[in-house]
Amino acid sequence: MSKVVVITGGNSGIGEACAWKFAREQYTVIVCGRDHVRNVRVCESINREAGCAYPYSVDLRSPTELTDLFRRLTLDHPPINCLVNSIGIDGQSFTMTEEYPEADFEDVMSTNVSAPWRCMKAVLPAMREAGRGTIVNVASLAGLNASVTGGSVYTASKHALVGITKAVAKEYAPYGVRVNAVCPGFVSTPLARHVLGSKFDAVCASQPMGRVCEAHEVAELVYWLSSEAASYVTGVAVPIDGGFRA
């Protein structure tokens, strides 16, 4: 019986790359996101070429929809062995704090903090009872340093996600559940290209390695943290930035 991984935000960017990586490693992959068409597209492609994936369309900002999702998953695909929280938005990039819209603040916090926390809360009881399970949260270098592009709100949300990761890791280490975060720098994703716009090429050139990270490189780290190869690794927030913070 294959292991099951739930990937939030699994229909694009880093989340999609994680879906492909886990599928190639013989996991049953659950792709969760708001965009039904993209969920289905990713899963159909994986099912043709790599393995077994199922789309679940849900707005994870809604506590009710999130609770219903995990209730269905418990029935459809037990047990959930791994959770990858790749859901996230940038908010109002390049916006000063004094000008930041209240509505966007709430949206960023709901998406980047509340939704991953609730997903963790949903899977932890079964993982604790089973005595095993892994969670990897996709944070950002903005969870370790201030973000120039995302500003104070994005920075706060990713710092919060890193803090939650560490706290939950300590809580659940005695039960065999490992919880970690990855903190990518600039990654070549549709979101990054949209945020940076015409600045994208200049950002690539400014990196120590002369390029930005690719989504599949983040997925490799996420998979390693979820695997038995990282069986003694928990509570860490791992930068993947090509030497940017060195």
Closest CA to 167 of 157, 179, 155: 179
DSSP at 78: -
Pair type for strands 177-184 and 28-33: unpaired
From CA 82, how far away is CA 233, in angstroms rounded? 15
C-alpha dist (Å) from residue 226 to 18, 25, 214 = 11, 12, 19
Residues 69, 32: contact at Cβ < 8 Å? yes
Digits of tens for pLDDT over the chain (246 positions)?
A: 789 999 999 999 999 999 999 999 999 999 999 999 999 999 999 999 989 999 999 999 999 999 999 999 999 999 999 999 999 999 998 899 999 999 999 999 999 999 999 999 999 999 999 999 999 999 999 999 998 888 999 999 999 999 999 999 999 999 999 999 999 998 998 878 888 888 888 988 899 999 999 999 999 999 999 999 999 999 999 999 999 999
**C-beta neighbour count of 207 within 10 angstroms:** 16
Which residue has 């938005």 as its token pair? 89
DSSP at 52: E
- Residues listed for the chain: 246
What is the domain partition of the chain in residue ranges? 4-238
From CA 242, how far away is CA 246, in angstroms rounded? 9
From CA 173, how far away is CA 74, in angstroms rounded? 23
From CA 74, how far away is CA 79, in angstroms rounded? 7
| Backbone torsions φ then ψ of 194, nearest 5 degrees | -65, -45
Residues 150, 131: contact at Cβ < 8 Å? no
159-174 b/e (C-beta count within 10 Å ≥ 16 → b): bbbbebbbebbeebee
| Backbone torsions φ then ψ of 171, nearest 5 degrees | -60, -40
SS3 230: helix
Which pTM value belongs to this model?
0.96
Residue-level pLDDT at 109: 98
**Residues designated catalytic:** 154
Residues 200, 210: contact at Cβ < 8 Å? no
Residue-level pLDDT at 95: 93
Closest CA to 112 of 159, 147, 172: 159
DSSP at 149: T
Residue-level pLDDT at 78: 93
Residue-level pLDDT at 230: 98
Which token pair is 186?
């600039």
CATH topology of domain 4-238: Rossmann fold (3.40.50)
Closest CA to 117 of 218, 228, 8: 8
